[in-house]
Amino acid sequence: MTAATEHLQQRVLHHLNTIYRDIELNQSTVILMQRVLDTMRLARVAQAPEPFYNHWDQSDMVLITYGDSIIGKDEQPLKYLHKFLDEHCKDSINSVHILPFFPYSSDDGFAVIDYSSVNDALGDWQDIEAISSDYRLMTDLVINHCSSRSPWFQNFIKGSGVGSDYFMTAELDDDLSQVVRPRISPLLRETETGDGVKQVWCTFSHDQVDLDFRNPEVLLAFISIIRQYLDSGVKLFRLDAVAFLWKIVGTSSINLPQTHECIRLLRCLIEHAVPDAVVITETNIPNQQNLSYFGNANEAHWIYNFSLPPLLVNTLVTGNCRYLKQWLMSMPPAQNGTAYFNFIASHDGIGLRPAEGLLNEDEINQLVNTMASFGGCVSWRAAEHGQRKPYEINIALYDALQGTINGPDRWGEQRFLCAHTIMFALEGVPGLYIHSLLATGNDYEKLKHTQHNRSINRHRWDEQLLADALADERTQHSKIIKQMRRLIDLRIKQPAFHPNATQFTLQLGGQLFGLWRQSLDRRQSVFSVSNVSDEPQTLNLGDINLIEGTDWFDLIAQKPVLPSRLEMELAPYQTVWITNIF
């Protein structure tokens, strides 16, 4: 036995003993440890992964998309997606997050029927593997729940077979008053089974039935799924809704210690199997809770920066960056081996829980009302004492930034690009939603058809209509993708934009948002300064301490910056990236 193998065994055994310390198992944790390692094909390892190592740099950019965001008549959607990536993203975007591409029953993929299959309406495993051979592939591990139509749950109803003991149940008289949920539907679903009526725990919807990780067979099932995905080329694992994974009656059943320990175990297994694979936690919760999923650089490699979307949108519609600055100044630098995953738009909406404690209730309501005036919808969650609170705003980002709190204006395109220049400059790895790259607006037809608020930002493009729109230089789609690609091409060449490079927030007043980034080798500095208002603003170059005698250059405008001129005027929503190396 190698020293690395022995060390791995001890680590896995420790994780299992911690997870199941209060659970009476029908097998020893030593036997369970061997089953875990056999399932992951880690019975023997040559060496341990290098700790605190960054398997990413400034060239990393993730495109977020559904498998059928582009559809056509002649081929399956995954083939159209691959063609789109090759034609429009090949030299700019090196990673792609394909949202759940498995057979499903609801929630646009997040009620998984079969984790081991590709939805045949999208394509097959060959299509997934073809994409993973050209791009770093992120996939969802929908780990908290599965579909009520899954074979597992059907066996639960029958009372026999694989899955018959996989699901979380409770009693009607259990104290569930503290349970934190993102939905207002009843928590328990009454289900007739071969063993009588059961009350099944459903954090999200009654079609999304929660799994019970107190049963180690559930853990083993997901380790087997992870192994299959690794074999198919998956390099980035998004642990969906993982904060809710472990439940205990009488508690909040969110962010419990066992959940964190499960993540530590999965990271340990994944990085021993494929050292440059990455674990990402999707925890749409208040900011300080979200940060806890880094652990001590031993849980998530990346965490979603969930506070960024509401704070950045709020900045641009109010014309004041006060709260964005305050938040960034409170954020600890990510340790080596970890990074923030930055995004502004996604298949979900603009989450509001991560803004709680950062914006007050009146400011959140102002943001909600402004987005509603731009055609957005609001999704609600259950709060204390039977109250409802806004959980997320559902709107396409292009429409969300069409104006300010005073209404629509002529600066929508500039405001939209400003949002992305800010995100691209931030510490962390950027994630770009396909409908932001394409400047897709609200899809009211899909919203009307599905009656689900999130559908407003989940448009499906016809392949030919998209080709025509991108070929016509007059369309917003053509204009935005060209400018976005130019910004990305600039970003990925700057060592100062490494996800773990130094970052300081500059104090330039309410209308100018500024960052200083410095490369890991300290050779390159980039000052990113954005006018977040609809009025011209003056940047005093002395405020950003440009060193006299050094040549400075604005990467975006492609022209020199002379400190001797003392001031620069920034047009509404203009950003400068001023660097000493170009």
Residues marked as catalytic: 240
- Token pair 């208002």 in the structure block, residue: 533
How far is Cα 272 from Cα 268, in angstroms, rounded to an integer?
6
Q: What is the DSSP letter of 346?
A: -
Q: Are 304 and 290 in contact (CB under 8 A)?
A: yes
How far is Cα 451 from Cα 444, in angstroms, rounded to an integer?
10
- The angle at the Cα of 35, spanning 32 to 38, to the nearest 5 degrees, equals 150
> Quick one: tokens of 308?
């960024």
CB contact set of 432 (below 8 Å; sequence gap of 6+): 61, 62, 63, 64, 93, 343, 420, 484, 488
Environment class of 340 (CB within 10 Å of its CB; exposed 0-12, middle 13-18, buried 19+): buried
- Token pair 């498995």 in the structure block, residue: 102
Q: Are 111 and 148 in contact (CB under 8 A)?
A: yes
Largest CA distance in the chain: 82
CB contact set of 263 (below 8 Å; sequence gap of 6+): 239, 242, 279, 281, 293, 295, 299, 300
* Pairing assessment for the beta strands 302-304 and 339-342 based on DSSP bridges: parallel
Phi first, then psi, for residue 280 (nearest 5°) are -125, 130
Closest CA to 191 of 217, 169, 161: 169
Phi first, then psi, for residue 568 (nearest 5°) are -130, 140
How far is Cα 580 from Cα 582, in angstroms, rounded to an integer?
7
How far is Cα 34 from Cα 43, in angstroms, rounded to an integer?
8
Distances 294 to 281, 332, 349 between C-alpha atoms, Å: 9, 11, 24
DSSP element (H, E) containing 456: none
Q: What is the DSSP string of 400-426?
A: HTSEETTEE-TTHHHHHHHHHHHHHHS
How far is Cα 95 from Cα 343, in angstroms, rounded to an integer?
14
> Quick one: tokens of 242?
């993982």
Phi first, then psi, for residue 344 (nearest 5°) are -115, -35
Q: Are 550 and 528 in contact (CB under 8 A)?
A: no
- Token pair 């749950």 in the structure block, residue: 153
DSSP element (H, E) containing 83: helix 77-88
How far is Cα 527 from Cα 300, in angstroms, rounded to an integer?
29
